[in-house]
Amino acid sequence: MKRGSARPPTWRDRKARTPRASWDWWDCAPGSRDTLQPWGGAYMNELFYPLTSLGVLAVVIAYAYAMIMVGRARGKYEVKVPATTGPDGFVRAFRAHQNSLEQIVVFLPLVAILSALYGDLAGGIYAFIFALGRFLFVRGYNIAAEKRVPGFMIGLVANLLALIACLVGIVVQLVA
């Protein structure tokens, strides 16, 4: 991008300054390799939310923990693949894993909208709280079904607050 220019470079600008003969489809996409690299992109801070990204990775780690617990329960209770029923300990681990997968479907759009409306810090806080709730839920459910409630409540409250914040933010954007 030229100094003082108000617009990001387009594919025409790249073509004019690069002798390459072929063009890849991602070269002119917003958020392409050039704009996401810390050494090349003028818009990196607008396209990359590090706190939200770390929070989403924490949720992925909590989900991986649930997968590991199912694998361990399969070995402990000798439940062969593809069976999804068995002793109570296996069923609890399996349900904790499935419930976490169901919650990720709600979490991902909410964290994307929340971080777009309120910024990286809001998205990151929501993601970390949700990840904590998921981890406590899986850990508690694997111990006893009754011990899943605190983790579930943390995730539920986080989702409800994020949903309300997203709705308010969208309505404010529409009215303004």
Q: Where are the domains of the chain?
A: 17-46, 49-175
Distance CA 30, CA 48 (A): 12
pLDDT digits (tens, 9 = 90+) for 63-99: 999 999 999 999 999 999 999 999 999 999 999 999 9
Right CATH number for 49-175 from 3.30.2350.10, 3.30.465.10, 1.20.120.550, 3.30.530.20? 1.20.120.550
Burial 109-139 (b: 16+ CB within 10 A, else e): ebbebbbebbebebbbbbbbbbbbbbbbbbb
**What pLDDT, on a 0 to 100 scale, did the predictor assign at position 150?**
97
**What pLDDT, on a 0 to 100 scale, did the predictor assign at position 107?**
98
User: Tokens in use for 131?
Assistant: 């990840």
pLDDT digits (tens, 9 = 90+) for 111-163: 999 999 999 999 999 999 999 999 999 999 999 999 999 999 999 999 999 99
Distance CA 155, CA 107 (A): 9
